[in-house]
Amino acid sequence: MNFSGKTAISTGAASGMGLLFSQCFAELGGNVLMCDVNEEVLQEKVAEINAKGAGRAVGIVCDVRDYAQVCAARDKAVEEFGSIDLMANFAGGTAVRMLKVDPELEFPDIPIDVYDWGIDVNLKGQFYFAHAVMKQMREQKSGLIINIGSITGMEGDGRGMDYPTAKSGVMFGLTKSLAQYGSKYGVRCVCISPGPVLTRTAMAKMKTLLGRAAEPQEIIDLILFIASEKGQFINGENIMIDGGRNAMTRSMG
- Show which residues are catalytic: 163
Residue type, 166: A
- Strands of 31-36's sheet, edge to edge? 57-61, 31-36, 7-11, 86-88, 143-148, 187-194, 238-241
Pick the closest to residue 87 from 165, 154, 18, 184 (CA basis): 18
Report the Cα 197 to chain-centroid distance in Å.
14
| Cβ neighbourhood burial of 37 (10 Å; 0-12, 13-18, 19+) | middle
| Other CB atoms within 10 A of residue 103 CB | 9
